């Protein structure tokens, strides 16, 4: 007889104690001034400062072909919070970001908030934008 009330108590505790995760929100990333109308644009989304621009540490990776356009609009669902996006365009279609001897990219790259680094990679704090509801639009038009 005592097992039924105990089981009911345990089950009710599980459903009351777990808060639902915030629903992803639709964000539109608009990228203009593309260097090539046919080369793939790679978008890497980060949601943690310690992982920003670290190899294979992005939270989400997308690849988009411009299909003859100089501007693309990319809808993406992101969880509420702070995000940053780093973009590259593979203009020679070799499926990698080419760099010079100093490690500086020789193909176009860009960041959210149109951050244009000069001597070092930007910080997450410079590039971050906040997703707090539907309808967020991130415009990127400053390429390096």
- Residue 2 inside a domain? The answer is no
Domain total in the chain: 1
Does residue 131 lie within any of the structural domains?
A: yes
> Does residue 7 belong to any structural domain of this protein?
no
- Whole-angstrom Cα distance, residue 79 to residue 22? 7
What pLDDT was estimated at residue 17? 56
Q: Residue 102: which CATH number? A: 2.60.40
Alpha-carbon distance values, 103 to 54, 99, 119, 130 (Å) = 14, 5, 12, 30
* 53-83 pLDDT tens trace: 999 999 999 999 999 999 999 999 999 999 9
Classify residue 90: in a domain, yes or no. yes
d(CA 71, CA 55): 27
In this prediction, residue 103 carries a pLDDT of 86
Residue 47 has pLDDT above 90, yes or no: yes
Q: Is 10 contained in some domain?
A: no
Domain around 34 = 20-140
pLDDT of the residue at 18: 64
Please write the tens of the pLDDT for every residue from 115-143: 999 888 999 999 999 999 889 999 999 99
Tell if the pTM clears 0.75, that is, is over it.
Answer: yes
Residue 121 forms part of a structural domain: yes
């Amino acid at each position: 007889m005592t097992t039924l009330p105990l089981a009911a108590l345990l089950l009710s505790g599980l459903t009351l104690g777990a808060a639902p995760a915030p629903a992803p929100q639709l964000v539109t990333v608009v990228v203009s001034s593309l260097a090539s109308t046919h080369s793939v644009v790679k978008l890497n989304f980060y949601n943690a400062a310690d992982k920003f621009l670290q190899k294979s540490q992005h939270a989400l990776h997308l690849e988009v072909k411009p299909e003859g356009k100089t501007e693309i609009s990319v809808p993406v669902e992101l969880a509420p919070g702070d995000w940053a996006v780093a973009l590259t365009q593979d203009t020679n279609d070799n499926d990698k970001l080419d760099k010079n001897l100093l490690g500086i990219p020789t193909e176009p790259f860009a960041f959210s908030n149109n951050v244009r680094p000069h001597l070092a990679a930007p910080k997450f704090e410079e590039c971050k934008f906040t997703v707090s509801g539907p309808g967020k639009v991130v415009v990127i038009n400053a390429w390096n």
